Amino acid sequence: MSLSLNASKKPVALITGANVGIGRVTAVQLAKQGYQLFLAGRSAERTQPVIDEIRAITGQADCATFLPLQLDDLVSVRQCADMFLVTGQPLHLLINNAGLAGAKGVTRQGFELAFGVNHLGHFLLTHLLLPRLKESAGSRVVTVASRAHMLARRGIPWETLQRPTASMTGVPEYAVSKLANILFSLQLSKETQGTGVSTYSLHPGVVDTEVWREVPRWLRPVMKWRGMLTPEEGAKTTLHCALQAPVTQSGLYFDKCQPKTPSKFALDAMAAKQLWDASMNWVYQSEQT
Ligand SMILES: NC(=O)c1ccc[n+]([C@@H]2O[C@H](COP(=O)([O-])OP(=O)(O)OC[C@H]3O[C@@H](n4cnc5c(N)ncnc54)[C@H](OP(=O)(O)O)[C@@H]3O)[C@@H](O)[C@H]2O)c1
């Protein structure tokens, strides 16, 4: 892969999981707004159609670049961050969009799969890119969470995070991972106060995408109820947080392009700090694996 070493004059965005669904629409819309894009995902082949679409819109060959990223492997997350950092590009926008629901198991480093992919992989990616985000002041981190965090009725169940997915549906674990997304964004807003970096989490709506492909077949009609949003509609709140939300709203959770009060567990500043500290320990312990 050839990556440019020249600093771009365009604003630069890195999006995870942009080959399909909400991430794909977000990437295309940002390209229309003049962003230089890095699309981080599992498959170059499956990301190529998005890159082709962006090239056709912008008429520029180098406006979108694929970066390999497997969020279920912290080694891959480090490699992805390194590949971006060596380009020398600034980073104005990081969108932690990728996510899975209903898949079961553990990550390569032994974390419950939804927690490891949806939270911990993005935690490490953000932490590694934070110096570059700070250098590119006025930058933003947008994390796609979910209203499903409200189903995490015990808060973060610490004792389960380093075990395989225990539930039959994977939905309780998904809810915990999405609660972790909101707590992460809340604590990140504190860690970045005064640095020129702002941070937002959001619920995109209930959107007709492939996110529920792994939940048991009998549960899918419940998830895929009529009246779901299109991915175009589902990308609106991400784009609002990326492009319009005031920096004074850093750390807040959004729904329908407005700040929204999340569950009481997602407002727990002590849990947010505890999760941040634990995540730091986990990702740096994992350097030995
Ligand atoms: N759709 C909804 O109703 C809804 C509601 C609330 C929140 N959300 C959130 O919205 C975000 C986007 O989801 P979506 O609805 O657009 O779903 P989607 O179409 O299934 O897209 C999910 C993306 O995440 C990527 N991904 C999954 N596991 C990964 C891993 N281990 N490493 C790297 N990338 C991985 C997928 O890559 P592959 O193509 O390689 O699998 C895909 O690009 C997710 O965070 C989801 O939790 C969605």
Mean pLDDT of 79-99: 98
Kindly list the protein residues whose Cβ atom lies closer than 6 A to any atom of ligand 1. Answer: 17, 19-23, 41-43, 46, 69-72, 97-100, 117, 144, 146, 203-204, 206-207, 209-211
Those residues whose C-beta lies under 8 Å from the C-beta of residue 136, and which sit 6 or more positions away, are 12, 90, 91, 92
Mean pLDDT of 272-279: 98
The string over 115-131, giving b where at least 16 C-beta atoms fall within 10 Å of a residue's C-beta and e elsewhere, is bbbbbbbbbbbbbbbbe
Q: Which atom of ligand 1 is nearest to the CA of 72?
A: 31
Mean pLDDT of 202-212: 88
Confidence of residue 224 (pLDDT cuts 50, 70, 90): low
pTM assigned to the model: 0.95
The DSSP bridge partners found for residue 38 are: 14, 65
Confidence of residue 118 (pLDDT cuts 50, 70, 90): very high
- Residue ranges of domains in the chain: 12-288
Side chain identity at 42, as an amino acid letter? R
User: Which pair of tokens denotes residue 277?
Assistant: 């500290």
Nearest to 47 by CA among 15, 20, 86, 85: 20
Mean pLDDT of 45-68: 95
Nearest to 41 by CA among 100, 102, 109: 100
Q: CATH fold of 12-288, please?
A: Rossmann fold (3.40.50)
Taking the CB of residue 154, how many other CB atoms lie within 10 A of it? 10
